[in-house]
Copies of this chain bind each other. A is one copy, B any other.
Protein backbone atom coordinates (compact mmCIF):
# COMPACT_ATOMS: atom_id res chain seq x y z
CA UNK A 1 0.00 0.00 0.00
CA UNK A 2 1.34 3.37 -1.00
CA UNK A 3 0.97 6.46 1.16
CA UNK A 4 2.06 9.72 -0.48
CA UNK A 5 3.40 12.63 1.53
CA UNK A 6 2.63 15.54 -0.77
CA UNK A 7 4.12 19.04 -0.84
CA UNK A 8 1.61 21.63 -2.01
CA UNK A 9 4.09 24.45 -2.54
CA UNK A 10 3.52 27.74 -0.70
CA UNK A 11 -0.03 28.32 -1.88
CA UNK A 12 -1.33 25.10 -3.42
CA UNK A 13 -3.16 25.62 -6.72
CA UNK A 14 -0.73 27.04 -9.27
CA UNK A 15 2.20 26.10 -7.02
CA UNK A 16 1.40 22.37 -7.23
CA UNK A 17 3.69 20.26 -9.38
CA UNK A 18 2.12 17.86 -11.86
CA UNK A 19 3.40 14.97 -9.73
CA UNK A 20 1.72 16.38 -6.60
CA UNK A 21 -1.55 16.96 -8.47
CA UNK A 22 -1.51 13.39 -9.78
CA UNK A 23 -0.97 12.04 -6.25
CA UNK A 24 -3.96 14.02 -4.96
CA UNK A 25 -6.13 12.89 -7.84
CA UNK A 26 -5.21 9.29 -7.11
CA UNK A 27 -5.89 9.56 -3.37
CA UNK A 28 -9.20 8.57 -1.79
CA UNK A 29 -8.41 10.24 1.53
CA UNK A 30 -6.50 13.49 2.09
CA UNK A 31 -5.09 14.05 5.58
CA UNK A 32 -3.64 17.32 6.84
CA UNK A 33 -3.51 20.29 9.15
CA UNK A 34 -6.52 22.61 8.76
CA UNK A 35 -4.66 25.43 6.97
CA UNK A 36 -3.05 23.08 4.45
CA UNK A 37 -6.22 21.19 3.61
CA UNK A 38 -7.86 24.55 2.84
CA UNK A 39 -5.31 25.01 0.03
CA UNK A 40 -6.59 22.01 -1.93
CA UNK A 41 -10.16 21.36 -0.81
CA UNK A 42 -11.77 23.47 -3.55
CA UNK A 43 -9.73 21.76 -6.27
CA UNK A 44 -10.58 18.26 -5.02
CA UNK A 45 -14.11 18.50 -3.58
CA UNK A 46 -14.94 14.82 -3.88
CA UNK A 47 -12.25 13.41 -1.64
CA UNK A 48 -12.65 12.26 1.92
CA UNK A 49 -10.78 14.61 4.29
CA UNK A 50 -9.28 14.09 7.73
CA UNK A 51 -8.27 17.35 9.35
CA UNK A 52 -6.21 17.65 12.53
CA UNK A 53 -5.13 20.74 14.47
CA UNK A 54 -1.69 22.10 15.32
CA UNK A 55 0.43 19.97 17.66
CA UNK A 56 -1.47 16.95 16.37
CA UNK A 57 1.45 15.80 14.23
CA UNK A 58 1.93 12.30 15.64
CA UNK A 59 -1.82 11.61 15.61
CA UNK A 60 -2.07 12.92 12.03
CA UNK A 61 0.69 10.62 10.79
CA UNK A 62 -0.70 7.60 12.61
CA UNK A 63 -4.19 8.20 11.19
CA UNK A 64 -2.73 8.37 7.70
CA UNK A 65 -0.67 5.21 8.23
CA UNK A 66 -3.58 3.27 9.74
CA UNK A 67 -5.91 4.11 6.89
CA UNK A 68 -3.21 3.26 4.34
CA UNK A 69 -2.59 -0.06 6.11
CA UNK A 70 -6.29 -0.85 5.83
CA UNK A 71 -6.16 -0.38 2.08
CA UNK A 72 -7.20 3.25 1.53
CA UNK A 73 -5.19 5.35 -0.93
CA UNK A 74 -4.02 8.18 1.34
CA UNK A 75 -2.22 11.48 0.69
CA UNK A 76 -0.83 13.36 3.68
CA UNK A 77 -0.40 17.01 2.66
CA UNK A 78 1.88 19.84 3.84
CA UNK A 79 2.25 23.32 2.43
CA UNK A 80 5.66 24.00 0.91
CA UNK A 81 7.92 20.97 0.88
CA UNK A 82 7.04 18.11 3.30
CA UNK A 83 10.78 17.47 3.66
CA UNK A 84 11.48 20.93 5.13
CA UNK A 85 9.85 21.38 8.57
CA UNK A 86 7.00 19.21 7.26
CA UNK A 87 5.66 15.73 7.96
CA UNK A 88 7.95 13.52 5.84
CA UNK A 89 10.41 12.73 8.62
CA UNK A 90 7.88 11.82 11.28
CA UNK A 91 5.94 9.72 8.79
CA UNK A 92 9.07 7.75 7.85
CA UNK A 93 9.95 7.29 11.52
CA UNK A 94 6.53 5.78 12.26
CA UNK A 95 6.06 3.83 9.02
CA UNK A 96 7.98 0.67 10.08
CA UNK A 97 5.20 0.03 12.64
CA UNK A 98 2.77 -0.38 9.71
CA UNK A 99 4.15 -3.24 7.60
CA UNK A 100 3.11 -3.16 3.98
CA UNK A 101 2.73 0.63 3.83
CA UNK A 102 5.22 2.22 1.49
CA UNK A 103 5.75 5.97 1.93
CA UNK A 104 6.52 8.11 -1.11
CA UNK A 105 7.63 11.71 -0.52
CA UNK A 106 6.57 14.12 -3.26
CA UNK A 107 8.55 17.34 -2.93
CA UNK A 108 7.10 20.82 -3.29
CA UNK A 109 8.37 24.37 -3.65
CA UNK A 110 9.51 25.29 -0.15
CA UNK A 111 8.56 28.67 1.38
CA UNK A 112 12.19 29.85 1.07
CA UNK A 113 12.06 29.47 -2.72
CA UNK A 114 8.56 30.90 -3.00
CA UNK A 115 9.31 33.90 -0.82
CA UNK A 116 12.68 34.54 -2.44
CA UNK A 117 10.99 34.79 -5.85
CA UNK A 118 8.62 37.45 -4.50
CA UNK A 119 11.50 39.56 -3.13
CA UNK A 120 13.87 39.07 -6.07
CA UNK A 121 16.80 36.69 -5.67
CA UNK A 122 18.09 36.76 -2.08
CA UNK A 123 19.27 33.12 -1.98
CA UNK A 124 21.63 33.05 -4.96
CA UNK A 125 24.62 32.12 -2.85
CA UNK A 126 25.12 29.62 -0.02
CA UNK A 127 22.25 29.87 2.43
CA UNK A 128 20.80 28.43 5.62
CA UNK A 129 17.32 27.66 6.74
CA UNK A 130 16.65 28.20 10.46
CA UNK A 131 13.34 27.81 12.30
CA UNK A 132 12.80 30.19 15.22
CA UNK A 133 10.32 27.80 16.83
CA UNK A 134 11.71 26.56 20.12
CA UNK A 135 8.94 24.03 20.66
CA UNK A 136 11.39 21.25 19.88
CA UNK A 137 14.77 23.00 19.75
CA UNK A 138 16.34 24.83 22.71
CA UNK A 139 16.72 28.57 22.04
CA UNK A 140 20.45 28.23 22.76
CA UNK A 141 20.82 25.90 19.76
CA UNK A 142 18.89 28.33 17.55
CA UNK A 143 21.11 31.18 18.70
CA UNK A 144 24.24 29.15 18.04
CA UNK A 145 23.06 28.49 14.49
CA UNK A 146 22.24 32.16 13.89
CA UNK A 147 25.73 33.19 14.99
CA UNK A 148 27.44 30.48 12.93
CA UNK A 149 25.42 31.38 9.83
CA UNK A 150 26.14 35.09 10.18
CA UNK A 151 29.84 34.57 10.85
CA UNK A 152 30.28 32.34 7.80
CA UNK A 153 28.38 34.89 5.67
CA UNK A 154 25.47 32.66 4.67
CA UNK A 155 22.22 34.16 3.44
CA UNK A 156 19.60 33.13 5.99
CA UNK A 157 15.94 32.19 5.73
CA UNK A 158 13.98 32.23 8.98
CA UNK A 159 10.90 29.99 9.20
CA UNK A 160 8.31 30.35 12.00
CA UNK A 161 9.55 33.83 12.97
CA UNK A 162 6.67 34.43 15.37
CA UNK A 163 3.62 32.94 17.04
CA UNK A 164 1.18 33.86 19.79
CA UNK A 165 3.45 32.65 22.52
CA UNK A 166 6.66 34.04 21.00
CA UNK A 167 5.96 37.56 19.79
CA UNK A 168 9.53 38.79 20.33
CA UNK A 169 11.51 35.93 18.76
CA UNK A 170 12.31 37.78 15.56
CA UNK A 171 13.61 40.71 17.60
CA UNK A 172 15.75 38.36 19.67
CA UNK A 173 17.10 36.72 16.50
CA UNK A 174 17.90 40.12 14.98
CA UNK A 175 19.74 41.16 18.12
CA UNK A 176 21.87 38.03 17.84
CA UNK A 177 22.55 38.71 14.14
CA UNK A 178 23.34 42.38 14.83
CA UNK A 179 26.20 41.18 17.02
CA UNK A 180 27.87 39.92 13.85
CA UNK A 181 26.37 41.81 10.89
CA UNK A 182 25.81 45.52 10.31
CA UNK A 183 22.38 47.07 10.75
CA UNK A 184 22.40 48.03 7.04
CA UNK A 185 22.39 44.35 6.01
CA UNK A 186 19.68 43.96 3.37
CA UNK A 187 16.73 41.90 4.60
CA UNK A 188 13.19 41.12 3.53
CA UNK A 189 10.09 39.29 4.50
CA UNK A 190 7.07 37.87 2.69
CA UNK A 191 3.65 37.26 4.18
CA UNK A 192 1.10 34.77 2.75
CA UNK A 193 3.44 33.45 0.05
CA UNK A 194 1.45 32.28 -2.97
CA UNK A 195 -1.82 33.01 -1.19
CA UNK A 196 -4.34 35.83 -1.02
CA UNK A 197 -2.74 38.85 0.60
CA UNK A 198 0.80 38.00 -0.55
CA UNK A 199 3.00 40.91 0.47
CA UNK A 200 6.76 41.36 0.30
CA UNK A 201 8.90 43.99 2.00
CA UNK A 202 12.61 44.81 1.60
CA UNK A 203 14.25 46.54 4.56
CA UNK A 204 17.44 46.65 6.65
CA UNK A 205 18.38 44.36 9.52
CA UNK A 206 17.99 47.33 11.84
CA UNK A 207 14.43 47.84 10.61
CA UNK A 208 13.63 44.12 10.62
CA UNK A 209 14.28 44.10 14.37
CA UNK A 210 11.15 46.19 14.85
CA UNK A 211 8.99 44.64 12.11
CA UNK A 212 5.73 42.92 13.00
CA UNK A 213 5.55 39.49 11.41
CA UNK A 214 3.24 36.53 11.89
CA UNK A 215 3.57 32.76 11.70
CA UNK A 216 2.82 32.70 7.97
CA UNK A 217 5.76 35.01 7.21
CA UNK A 218 9.13 33.91 5.85
CA UNK A 219 12.07 36.20 6.67
CA UNK A 220 15.26 36.65 4.61
CA UNK A 221 18.59 38.04 5.84
CA UNK A 222 21.14 38.85 3.16
CA UNK A 223 24.86 38.09 3.21
CA UNK A 224 27.55 40.78 3.08
CA UNK A 225 27.08 41.15 -0.71
CA UNK A 226 23.29 41.34 -0.83
CA UNK A 227 21.97 44.62 -2.21
CA UNK A 228 18.82 46.31 -3.42
CA UNK A 229 18.52 46.48 -7.23
CA UNK A 230 15.55 48.46 -8.51
CA UNK A 231 13.64 47.67 -5.36
CA UNK A 232 14.40 43.92 -5.38
CA UNK A 233 16.57 42.04 -2.88
CA UNK A 234 19.46 40.46 -4.82
CA UNK A 235 22.47 38.45 -3.65
CA UNK A 236 25.01 38.50 -6.52
CA UNK A 237 26.66 35.20 -7.25
CA UNK A 238 29.67 36.87 -8.83
CA UNK A 239 29.06 36.60 -12.57
CA UNK A 240 29.64 40.34 -13.03
CA UNK A 241 32.94 40.47 -11.14
CA UNK A 242 35.71 41.76 -13.44
CA UNK A 243 38.11 39.22 -14.85
CA UNK A 244 35.81 36.25 -14.75
Contacts and interface: CB of A to CB of B under 8 A. Distances in A.
Nearest to A193: B107
Interface string A119-140: 0111111111111000111000
A169 interface: no
Interface residues of A, number: 76
- The count of identical subunits is 2
A73 to B, nearest CB: 18
Interface stretch (A32-40, A207-215, A229-237): A229-237
Given A88-B117, A136-B244, A129 B131 contact: no
Given A136-B239, A136-B244, A238-B136, A105 B120 contact: yes
A83 B144 contact: no
Interface of A: 7, 9, 13-19, 21-22, 57-58, 81-86, 88-96, 105-110, 113-114, 116-117, 120-131, 135-137, 141-142, 144-145, 147-149, 151-154, 229-230, 232, 234-241, 244
A238 B108 CA distance: 22
Contacts of A16: 17-18
Contacts of A14: 17-19, 22
Nearest to A114: B107
Given A129-B127, A131-B126, A120 B88 contact: yes
